[in-house]
Each structure stands twice: as structure tokens, then as C-alpha cells.
Amino acid sequence: MKVLVIGADKGLGALLPGVLKEGGHDVAAGYYNLEGYSGDTDDDILRLQMDVTDETQLLKAADRLKEKYGELDAVIDVAGILLNDDREKNLLEQPLESIRAHMDVNALGLLLAFRSLLPVMAKGSRFFAVTSEGGSFTLAGTLFPAYSVSKTAANKFVQVLRLTLAEQGNTDVDLIAVHPGRMNTEMGRTTANMEPIDSAYGFRDLVEGKTKVDSSKNWFIDYKGNPMPV
Ligand SMILES: NC(=O)c1ccc[n+]([C@@H]2O[C@H](COP(=O)([O-])OP(=O)(O)OC[C@H]3O[C@@H](n4cnc5c(N)ncnc54)[C@H](OP(=O)(O)O)[C@@H]3O)[C@@H](O)[C@H]2O)c1
């Protein structure tokens, strides 16, 4: 399969290209900062500059992907931020710029990435939007507040975009929100109960269809395919 990972600089996103390659897939990886990238140098991976807040970069990457692969079978959009302000300050104290930055990357960034890549998605393809349990209304709390609100917006983008595609009779692409687990990464270090490599293998099973998903019933799932509460 032809698979794109967005947000491959570090954390879960940095592991996914290797895990997907190991599974025999053609892999492209999008970076927030491609110039600064110093990880795996496997030349088989198509590496692209893809800041999810920059529509010009995303459209340029989509052109390059079309040229190289024609169409994509799956996208995993892992890009996300959790700023220190949001670890330390509630919504009454936190600077608006910090709250806005979470919305820009975690919510609007997903919309921009999905819109830009839709023309290069194959019939029967899947777009996995990595959101978070923090975006659930049901699992309420005040931890990482701006982050959580932005992930709720991301989940809502997924729901509304799914309905929009259905209204347009577009059944080519299945857009799914995925909670990746509480991973031991730079972002998740204070709440982790698992390693990101386990999540990466979970995503590979989702991409390959080994983990069955009925998104008409559950469009928000975890990396093992279990339904998540909206
Ligand atoms: N860790 C957890 O426990 C946990 C729990 C629930 C959900 N999640 C979600 O899972 C995803 C991966 O989390 P992680 O723990 O692997 O986080 P991470 O280690 O902080 O990695 C986040 C990735 O997103 C990239 N990124 C940031 N801003 C971007 C932008 N504007 N455009 C493109 N890429 C951008 C980062 O690039 P740079 O390195 O260059 O900044 C990095 O590659 C995130 O969406 C996160 O919200 C994580």
C-alpha cells in the first residue's frame, strides 16, 4: 500500500515510516521541519516538508505525491502540539496565543491536511486523523485544557467532514479519528502507560485492515480499533 505519515519529526510519527516499510509498504513522510531532520535516512522513503498550518506546503506535497504514487491508500496524520503553557496554566490564565496555536495545529491543521490530500486519495482509501481521548466530551477534565479543546474540535471536524463527503456521494475515502494511546513520548511523558512503538504497530494493523473497523458505527476509535466515547 502507499501510505503517507504527517508529523514524522518525532514521537509516534517518527516510528511509523519504519514500521510501515517493514510491512512492505511504500512510504512517504511529511515533516514540520524537514531541514532539521536527523533521523532514519532510508532513501526509499519520500520525505516532504509539510507544516499542517501551511496550505501552500501541503498542496505542493500533494502534487509531489501524485507525481510519485498517483494515489495514496492511507494517510496517518500524527501532527500535534501540547505547549508548556497548557501544562501549567488553565484557560483563564493562559495567553490567547498559546490557545490559538493549539487550535491552529491540532484542529485547523487537520482540516487543511485533509482538504489538501483529498484529491490524491485512492478509492477505498483511509485517512487516520490522530486526535486524542482528551477531545472526548464524555471523558471530561481540565488537564491540558487548550490541547483538549483543540482535539475536540479535531474530532468534530472528522464528524462533519464525514457527513460532507456523504452528502457529496464521495465514498472513496474513509476519514477516522484515532486515539493513539497514552504514549511515552516528549508530549505524553507525564501521563504515559505504553510505548509509542506499540501504537505504531496498532496503526499498521489499521492501515492493512487486519484490525477491522466499521466507521459507519464508530468513527472515533483507539489504535487497537476499540470504539472511543465521543
Ligand atoms: N503521547 C500521547 O500520550 C498522546 C495521547 C493522545 C494523543 N496524542 C496525539 O498523538 C499524536 C502524536 O503524539 P506524540 O506523543 O508522538 O507527540 P510528539 O512526540 O510531540 O510529536 C508530535 C509530532 O507532530 C509534529 N508537529 C508539530 N507541529 C506540526 C505542524 N505544524 N505540522 C506538522 N507536524 C507538526 C512534531 O514535529 P516537531 O518535532 O518538529 O515539533 C512531531 O513530529 C499527536 O497528534 C498527539 O496529540 C498523543
Contacts of 180 (CB under 8 A, 6+ apart): 12, 78, 130, 132, 196, 199, 202, 203, 222, 223
Distance from C-alpha of 114 to C-alpha of 172, rounded to nearest angstrom: 13
Domains, the chain, ranges and CATH? 2-222 (3.40.50.720)
Report whether residue 135 contacts ligand 1, using a CB cutoff of 6 Å: no
Which pLDDT does position 35 carry in this prediction? 93
Distance 213 CA to ligand 1 centre (A): 24
pLDDT > 80? residue 40: no
Q: Which of 163, 147, 153, 136 is nearest to 220 (CA)?
A: 136
- The answer to whether residues 74 and 175 touch, using CB atoms and an 8 Å cutoff, is no
Average pLDDT of the chain to the nearest whole number:
97
Distance 187 CA to ligand 1 centre (A): 7
What SS3 class is residue 28? strand
Distance 168 CA to ligand 1 centre (A): 31
Distance 67 CA to ligand 1 centre (A): 27
State mean pLDDT over 52-77.
98
Distance 161 CA to ligand 1 centre (A): 22
Which pLDDT does position 128 carry in this prediction? 98
- The answer to whether residues 198 and 181 touch, using CB atoms and an 8 Å cutoff, is yes
Q: What angle do CA 4, 9, 15 make, to 5 degrees?
A: 65
Q: Which of 40, 31, 89 is nearest to 61 (CA)?
A: 31
Q: What is the DSSP string of 136-167?
A: -SSS---SSHHHHHHHHHHHHHHHHHHHHHHH
Closest residue by CA, ligand 1 atom 20: 187
Give the phi and the psi of residue 70 in degrees, each rounded to 5: 80, -80
Residue 7 has which C-alpha cell?
508529523
Ligand 1 pocket check: which of 4, 5, 6, 10 to mutate, most ligand atoms within 8 Å of Cβ? 10
- The answer to whether residues 72 and 174 touch, using CB atoms and an 8 Å cutoff, is no
Count of Cβ atoms closer than 10 Å to residue 26 Cβ? 17
Q: What percent of the chain has pLDDT over 70?
A: 100
Closest residue by CA, ligand 1 atom 32: 51
Which pLDDT does position 15 carry in this prediction? 97
State mean pLDDT over 101-127.
98
pTM of the model: 0.98
Count of Cβ atoms closer than 10 Å to residue 221 Cβ? 21
Report whether residue 150 contacts ligand 1, using a CB cutoff of 6 Å: no
